[in-house]
Amino acid sequence: MKKNFKKFLKFFFIINIIGISFNGVLFYFNIPNGISFFIKSNYYIQGISIIIYIAFSFWLYKIIVLNQMISEQEKIS
């Protein structure tokens, strides 16, 4: 379990750093991006973005756990 969580954190931080850096570049060149939605005071878009972010993070964790379980089953059989 601890190994899966460390793997999840590694993927989670890598994906977030890449996403934040690309959003920063898009924001610098005035191209629509995720940062623009949070600067405006549109709370519905912010709420939906946060819910989607949490859901995708949860799915990423479940995919990593499932992948680990499948690889362990293949080692056994």
Judge if pTM exceeds 0.75: no
Q: What is the mean pLDDT of each run of 10 residues along the chain (77 residues)?
A: 78 84 78 65 73 86 85 82
The two tokens of residue 47 are 């709420």
Alpha helices in 1-77 (DSSP H): 2-28, 34-39, 43-76
Task: For residues 69 and 71, give the distance between their C-alpha atoms in angstroms, rounded to a whole number.
Answer: 5
Task: For residues 45 and 15, give the distance between their C-alpha atoms in angstroms, rounded to a whole number.
Answer: 21
Residue with tokens 């990423």: 60
